[in-house]
Amino acid sequence: MSEPLAPQYNPQAIESDLYRFWNQRGVFAPDGPSDHPRAGPPYVVVMPPPNVTAVLHMGHGLNNTIQDVLVRFERMRGRAALWIPGTDHAGIATQNVVERLLAKEGLTRFDLGREAFTDRVWSHVRETGAVILRQLEALGCSADWSRAYFTFNDDLSRAVREAFVSLYEKGLIYRGHYIINWCPRCLTALSNEEAEKEEEEGRIWRLRYPLADGSGHIIVATTRPETILGDTGVAVHPDDERYRGLIGREVRLPLTDRLIPIVADDAVDPEFGTGAVKVTPAHDPLDFEIGRRHGLASIDVMTPEARMSLAAPERFQGLDRYEARRRVVDEFERLGLLEGVDHHRHAVGHCYRCDTVIEPRLSDQWFVKMAPLAQPALEAYRDGRLRFVPERRGDEYARWMENIRDWCISRQLWWGHRIPVWYCQNEGCARMTASRTDIERCPDCGGPVRQDEDVLDTWFSSQLVPFSSLGWPDRTRDLDRFYPGHTMVTAPEILFFWVARMVMAGIEFRGSIPFSTVYLHGTVRDTQHRKMSKSLGNGIDPLDVVGLYGADALRYTLVAGSAVGTDVILDPDDIESSFAPGRNFANKLWNAGRFILSNLEGPVRPLAGPHANVIRRDELGLADRWIIARCDATVAEVTEALERFRLNEAAAAAYRFVWSDLADWYIEQIKPRLTGEQPGGDVARAVAAQTFDVALRLLHPVMPFITEALWQRLPGRAKDDSISVAPWPRPDPRAADTAALERFGAVQELVTAVRALRGEYGVQPGQRVHIRVTGSGPAGVFDDERDTIQRLAKVAELRLDQPAGTQLGAHAVLEDGTGVFMPAEGAFDVGRETERLQKEEDRLYRAIEAQKKKLSNQQFTSRAPAEVVEREREKLRDWSEQLEELTRKRKGLVMA
C-alpha cells in the first residue's frame, strides 16, 4: 500500500487514470496485453452505434453498461473478448439537426448547396463523435478503440457499395414507381418502419358523388377529403348488391369537372364505410393497386411539402393539406353533397424523426426485395440458432419476418451514402449502371453519365456493421476470426430497423447470422414512466452522474435496476436518491477495502497451493469456514446469473455478499483476531484477503474502476497487474460447508435476538448484559462461539442450557424454540421500563378514546370528506395496534 486511502470514496481521483492505464496496457484488445495473452475462443459484441446527432443520454448509458458487463465477464473468463465500438452517421437525424442549426442563422441547406452543406455536417459530426467517444470512456467501456468504426467512413462506404451492387446484380434491388411514406417536412421518402403508426381520433366524411347522367349518386367515405382532387375512380366490391347496377358507369367528380368510372374490385370491403371507395392512385397504396388493376390514371395533387399542387383546381393550389381538407368539405357542404361526418379512430403515420404526419406519395424510389432475405432469417430463429432475451421478443421478430414488405431504401437527403447508380445521359441509350466504383462514362455507349441524386437509408449501412466493421468486403483476418459474433445488446425500438436487418444481411453476405443472442434491454424512464427525452426535459445526463458519484455508482444503479424485460425508472428530480444505491455501495466497498487492506501489511499466509506455510483446513474457525462457503455460493450465483443475462441478480448477489456477509459479519467477527486480542489473526487476514479478492473480481464487470483500484492494492500484485484480465473465480465444490452455514447462522440468529431485546427494552448502548439461553445451539455452537456472541451482542455473561429462573427480565424465542432470556438486573430498570411503557400505553389509550369519540360524532363523519374520515379511521387502527404491541412488551417483562 502506497498512500492512505480516503474514508470517502472519491471516484474522480481514480477513474480517468485507471482508464488510461487499461488502454495503454492493452487489456481491451481481444488478445490482451502481450505479456498476459488470452488464448480462449473469441467473444464478440458489436456496439449499437450511437447517432452522431448529439451526445449520449441515459439510454446509451444503460446500453453500453450492459455490454461492458458482458464483455468484461467473458474477458475475465479468458475469452478473446472483442467489443467493437462505433458511431452512426444517422442520415436523416443528423441532417435535421444541422438544418436546425442553420435555421438559427437564417439559412437552409439549399442556400449552402449540397457540397457545402455536407461539409458543414461533417464538421458537426466530428465534434459530437469525439464527445461521444469521451463519454464512452467515462463510462468505463472496455471497447477496442483501435477497431472503432463510423458508418460513413471510407471503409464502411465501400462495404455499402459492395452490398448495394451485389443485391442489385442478384435482382434484389430494384427501382420502382410506388406509393411510399413521405415526410413533407423532411422532404424524403421513409421506410415503413420509419413511419410510426399512432392511433388518433379522426373523422370520416361521407360524400356524394353524382352519377354523370344525373340519375342519382353514390356515397363514398374518406378520412382525407383533400385527396378527392386526385380521384380517378370509385370502387365497389363486385358482389355488392347495392352497387351492382352502377359498375361501369361514371360519376362527375365534384369540385372538378372530371368524369371518373365506377369499377369493381375485390379489395373493397363492403362492410366498411359505405362500401364505396374513392380511388386516388397517387395518394394511397390500396388505391394505387386498384388504379393499376383498372387502368386508372394517377393524379398527384400535392407538392412535396404537402400543399395542393398545380394538378389541383386553381383555387386550391398552394393550400396546405389540412386547409385544403377544410375547403373541400366546405364546398361539399355548400353543394349539398356532404352526406355526413363521423368520429373515427384510426392509425396515422408519423415521421419517426420529426413527428410530422406522413403523406403517402407516389414516386420513384429504390427498394430491396425482402422476402428471399427474410426466409433464412426466420429459419435461423425457428431452429434456435438465433435466440432472444427476453424470449418473447422473438415472436415479434418472427411476425415481422413473416409479414415482411419490400424496403424503400432511397432518401431524398444530402447526408448519406449516395446511391451508386449512374444514368446514361445519352437519350438513345438511357442505361442505368450500378457500380462499385465511380464511373464517368456509360459502359454501353460511352456517353456522359449522371449519378443518382438520392442517398441510402442510414440503416442500409448499419445493417452491415457486424462484418463491415471487420474489414468486409475484404477478406481480412479479423473477419475470419471475429465473424460471426455472439451477443447483440440493444433497445427494443430498433429490433426491426436494425437487428432484423443485420440478421438478413449477415446471412446474405457472410452466410451466417451475425450473433447468436439478442439481448433487448428496457427503456430508461422517469417516475411517470415517460421515456427520458430531451424534448420533455426529463433526461438525466450520464456524465452528470459520473461527475457526482462516479461511473461505478451509475453502472451499479443501472444494472441493479434492470431486470430482464423491464424498464429502468429514474427520478430526474432526485438524482441523489436515484443513484444512492450505487453511490452508497461503492463507498461501502471502498471502506471495507480500506479496512482489509490496512490489515494486510506484512506477509499473508496463503490459503491454498504448494506452499510450506499454507493455512491448514483445521486452522479455520467457524466464521472463516462460513465466509468461505458464502463466498463460494456467491461465485456460483453471480456466474450463473451473468450466463443467463440476469445482470441485476448478479449485482444483487455480489452486493449481499459484500455488505451483509463480509462487512456486517465477517469483518466484525475478525476485528479482535486482527488486533491480537484473540488468536487466529493470520488466518483471518488470509481469509479476508482471499474472499475480498473474489468479491472484487465478481463485481469488476459491473464496477470496473473501484474494483481495479482496490484489487491492485492487494498484496502480491505486480505493478502492471490488472483485475480486468484476472481470472474469473470458479466455484470450488470443496468449499461447500453446510455445517458451517448452519452453525454460523445460529450464531447470527442469537446475536440478532439479543440486539433486538436490547433495543426493545431500552438497554443503554454501551451496557453489557447477561443472557441465559435454554439450549446451546446446533452441536453446541453457542458454547464454541461464545466470544463472538458476547462481543457482537455486547453480552457480559452468556449462560447456556439454563432452565427458567425466577428473575425479572425480557425474553425472546429463536426459530427452533430456543428461549433467550435477558435478566433486567444490571441491564435495565424493570420498574422504570414498566412505567415508561405504562405511560406510553396511557397516552395512546387516551388518544384512542378521543379518536373514537371523534369518529362516533355524526357531524364529523357525515360532513367531512370521505378520505379525511378514512384517514382518521386509519389513525385509530394504527394506534390500537401500537397499544397492543406496547402491552405485549410490558407483559414480556416477566419472571423467567
Partner RNA sequence: GGGCGAAUAGCUCAGCCGGUUCAGAGCGCCUGCCUUACACGCAGGAAGUCGGGGGUUCGAAUCCCUCUUCGCCCACCA
Distance CA 679, CA 175 (A): 84
Judged by CB under 7 A, which of 137, 649, 661, 841 binds RNA? 649
271 lies in the site for RNA, by CB under 7 A: yes
In our burial notation (b when 16+ CB lie closer than 10 A, e otherwise), range 314-350 reads eebbebebeebbebbbebbeeeebbeeeeeeeeeebb
Closer residue to RNA in complex, CB, 189/586: 586
Strand partners, 307: 320
- The grid cell for 843 is 397516552
Identity of the residue numbered 20: R
> Are residues 87 and 81 in contact, defined by beta-carbon separation less than 8 angstroms?
no
Kindly indicate which of the ranges 463-471, 621-629, 716-724, 755-763 contains the residues binding RNA, using the contact rule CB under 7 A: 755-763
Select 528 or 613, whichever has its Cβ closest to RNA: 528
What lies within 8 Å, CB to CB, of 622 at 6+ separation is: 740, 743, 744, 747, 781, 784, 785
Nearer to RNA, 581 or 892 (CB): 581
Q: Which is nearer to RNA, 243 or 509 (CB)?
A: 243
- What is d(CA 47, CA 137) in angstroms, rounded to the nearest whole number? 14
256 binds RNA per the rule CB under 7 A: no
- Helix-helix angle 551-560:647-655, to 10 degrees: 120
CA distance 423 to 441: 10
423 scored as a contact of RNA (CB under 7 A) = no
Half-sphere exposure of 132 (CA within 13 A, CB side): 28
Pairing between β-strand 80-84 and β-strand 42-46 as defined by DSSP bridges: parallel
Nearer to RNA, 613 or 738 (CB): 738
By beta-carbon proximity to RNA, the closer residue of 186 and 757 is: 757
Q: Does 566 bind RNA (CB under 7 A)?
A: yes
The number of angstroms, rounded, from the C-alpha of 836 to the middle of its chain's C-alpha atoms is 54
Total Cβ atoms within 10 A of residue 167: 21
Stretch of residues binding RNA (CB under 7 A), selected from 463-471, 608-616, 619-627, 660-668: 660-668
Q: Hey, what amino acid is at 874?
A: E
Min dist. Cβ of residue 224 to RNA (A): 6
Exposure letters 799-833 (e unless 16+ CB within 10 A, then b): ebebeeeebebbbbebeeebbbbbbbeebbebeeb
Residues 129-148 touching RNA, rule: CB under 7 A, are none
Which of the residues 10 through 39 are near RNA (CB under 7 A)?
none
| Range list of H helices, 700-768 | 704-711, 738-760
Window 726-745: residues binding RNA (CB under 7 A) = none
Between 597 and 616, how does the x/- string for binding to RNA read (CB under 7 A)?
-x------------------
Residue with cell 387502527: 877
Residues in the chain: 896
Q: Closest separation between CB of residue 861 and RNA, Å?
A: 21
Contact pick of 609, 676, 765, 817 for RNA (by CB under 7 A): 765
Task: Please give the Cα distance from 566 to 449 (Å, whole number).
Answer: 53
Q: Which is nearer to RNA, 150 or 497 (CB)?
A: 497
Binds RNA (CB under 7 A): choice among 112, 439, 563, 741: 563
Residue 104 makes contact with RNA by CB under 7 A: no
Residue 176 binds to RNA (criterion: CB under 7 A): no
CB closer to RNA, 26 vs 285 = 285
Q: Distance between CA 301 and CA 311 in Å, rounded?
A: 5
Asked if 867 touches RNA (CB under 7 A), the answer is no
Q: Which residue in the set 395, 544, 842, 874 belongs to the binding site for RNA (CB under 7 A)?
A: 395
Smallest gap from Cβ 280 to RNA, in A, equals 8
- How are strands ordered across the β-sheet holding 487-490? 80-84, 42-46, 487-490, 517-520, 387-389
Interface with RNA in residues 473-512 (CB under 7 A): 492-493, 496
d(CA 871, CA 873): 5
Query: How many residues bind RNA, per CB under 7 A?
Result: 82
Shortest distance, CB of residue 550 to RNA, whole angstroms? 9
Q: Buried b vs exposed e over 550-587: b needs ≥16 C-beta within 10 Å?
A: bbbbbbbbbbbbbbbeebbbbebeebeebbebbbebbb
Q: CB under 7 A: which stretch of 166-174, 624-632, 756-764, 840-848 binds RNA? A: 756-764
Report how far residue 249's alpha carbon sits from residue 258's, in angstroms, rounded to the nearest whole number: 13
Distance CA 709, CA 13 (A): 10
Q: Which stretch binds RNA (CB under 7 A): 155-163, 560-568, 694-702, 723-731?
A: 560-568
- Residue 377 interacts with RNA (CB under 7 A): yes or no: no
Question: Minimal distance in Å, beta carbon 561 to RNA?
Answer: 6
Q: Contacts with RNA in 275-294 (CB under 7 A)?
A: 275-278, 284-286
Q: Choose between 133 and 886: whose C-beta lies nearer to RNA.
A: 886
- Give the residue, chosen from 21, 122, 400, 860, that forms a contact with RNA under the rule CB under 7 A: 400
Which CB, 469 or 587, lies closer to RNA? 587
Shortest CB 221 distance to RNA, Å: 5
Distance CA 416, CA 435 (A): 17
Give bridge partners of residue 567 from the DSSP assignment. Answer: none
- Per the CB < 8 A criterion, the answer to whether 63 and 48 are in contact is yes
Contacting residue, 583, 673, 700, 772, with RNA by CB under 7 A: 583
Candidates 65, 587, 691, 774; binder of RNA (CB under 7 A) is 587
Query: Which of residues 161 and 770 has its CB atom nearest to RNA in the complex?
Result: 770
**Under the criterion CB under 7 A, does residue 652 sit at the interface with RNA?**
yes
632 sits near RNA (criterion: CB under 7 A) = no
Helix, strand, coil abundance in the chain, percent, nearest 5: 45, 20, 35
Tell me if residue 202 falls in helix, strand or coil. Answer: strand
Min. distance of Cβ 289 from RNA in angstroms? 7
For the bound state, the minimum distance from the C-beta of residue 201 to RNA, rounded and expressed in Å, comes to: 12
Side chain identity, residue 876:
L
Tell which one of 300, 732, 760, 784 touches RNA (CB under 7 A): 760
Q: Does 875 bind RNA (CB under 7 A)?
A: no
| Minimum distance of RNA from residue 528's CB (angstroms) | 8
Query: Closer CB to RNA, residue 369 or residue 588?
Result: 588
- Would you say 825 or 881 has its CB closer to RNA? 881
Short-list 707, 719, 711, CA closest to 11? 707
Q: Is 633 helix (H, G, I), strand (E, B) or coil?
A: helix
For RNA, the binding residues in 201-220 under the rule CB under 7 A are 204, 220
| Beta bridge mates, 203 | 343
> Going residue by residue from 334 to 353, which x/- string records binding to RNA, judged by CB under 7 A?
----------x-xx------
Q: Which stretch binds RNA (CB under 7 A): 292-300, 661-669, 680-688, 848-856?
A: 661-669
Residue 9 engages RNA in binding (rule: CB under 7 A): yes
Residue number with CB closer to RNA (102 or 569): 569
The one among 212, 445, 479, 663 contacting RNA by CB under 7 A: 663
Nearer to RNA, 385 or 399 (CB): 399
Q: Which residue has the cell 471510407?
A: 154
Distance CA 196, CA 541 (A): 27
Site for RNA in 666-685 (CB under 7 A): 667-668, 671
CB nearer RNA, residue 144 or residue 571:
571
375 binds RNA (CB under 7 A): no
Residues 223-242 contacting RNA, CB under 7 A: 223-224
Q: Which is nearer to RNA, 157 or 851 (CB)?
A: 851
